[in-house]
């Protein structure tokens, strides 16, 4: 299956709302550094907080993806949006700060989480056609908007330095090392 650009019917008779804004640069968001996997505001602040923030993000852009502008009803995979925590990440300090909660279509969200997408491809949980579609869709948006993928800095903080700052408090990794992280995720896969 090849990627074909999606067209949003926004003609006067259409019931689909147009996006208020489109921010394709969201697709350049870095993967979360491994030390901070499972350290996130939705876990720290709780389900009620998360539900309130994500619903506001969905409505903020007329229920359209913030990155590509597709209305939730026109997404190739699902008829809903997905919330994504968008961070400022300082690799040298090992510091991550929540910038905002953004609403994404399933395709854009999976493009951002390409590392996870690659893993579920290997496990057979996503088809090669869908994987290729998602990757081509994201690359097409990046290319059309003349965006450039950021490079990682030469110096990256040590594992133990990584933390999320949320409401002025530092939250550190639940994993003491990369080996503990690997062991945790291998155990999860076996269950």
Beta carbons of 28 and 150 less than 8 angstroms apart:
yes
Which pLDDT score is estimated for 185? 78
Which pLDDT score is estimated for 190? 61
Taking 3-state DSSP, the helix, strand and coil percentages for the chain, each rounded to the nearest 5, stand at: 40, 15, 45
Which pLDDT score is estimated for 15? 60
Q: What is the pLDDT of residues 75-89, one digit of tens each?
A: 999 999 999 999 999
Which pLDDT score is estimated for 191? 54
What average pLDDT does the chain have? 89
Which pLDDT score is estimated for 115? 84
- Strand 163-166 vs strand 82-90: parallel, antiparallel, or unpaired? unpaired
Tokens matching residue 57: 């993000």
Low-confidence ranges of the chain (pLDDT < 70): 1-16, 188-191
Which pLDDT score is estimated for 9? 47
The CA-based angle 78-185-156, given to 5 degrees, is: 95
Q: What is the pLDDT of residues 82-126, one digit of tens each?
A: 999 999 999 999 999 999 999 999 999 999 999 889 888 988 999
For residues 5-18, one letter each, b for 16 or more C-beta atoms within 10 angstroms of the residue's C-beta and e for the rest, the string is: eeebeeeeeeebee
Beta carbons of 104 and 112 less than 8 angstroms apart:
yes
Residue with the two structure tokens 């133990």: 160
The residues, ordered by sequence, that sit 6+ positions from 138 with a Cβ below 8 Å of its Cβ are: 27, 107, 108, 111, 112, 114
């Amino acid at each position: 299956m090849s990627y074909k650009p999606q067209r949003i019917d926004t003609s006067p008779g259409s019931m689909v709302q147009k996006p208020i804004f489109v921010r394709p640069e969201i697709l350049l968001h870095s993967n979360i550094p491994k030390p901070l996997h499972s350290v996130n505001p939705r876990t720290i602040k709780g389900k009620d907080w998360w539900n309130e923030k994500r619903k506001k993000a969905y409505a903020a852009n007329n229920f359209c993806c913030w990155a590509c502008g597709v209305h939730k009803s026109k997404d190739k995979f699902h008829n809903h949006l997905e919330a994504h925590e968008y961070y400022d990440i300082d690799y040298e300090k090992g510091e991550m700060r929540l910038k905002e909660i953004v609403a994404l279509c399933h395709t854009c969200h999976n493009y951002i989480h390409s590392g996870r997408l690659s893993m579920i491809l290997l496990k057979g949980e996503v088809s090669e056609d869908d994987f290729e579609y998602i990757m081509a869709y994201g690359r097409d948006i990046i290319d059309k908007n003349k965006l450039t993928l950021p490079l990682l800095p030469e110096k990256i903080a040590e594992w133990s330095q990584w933390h999320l700052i949320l409401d002025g408090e530092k939250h550190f990794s639940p994993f003491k090392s990369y080996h503990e992280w690997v062991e945790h995720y291998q155990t999860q896969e076996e269950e």
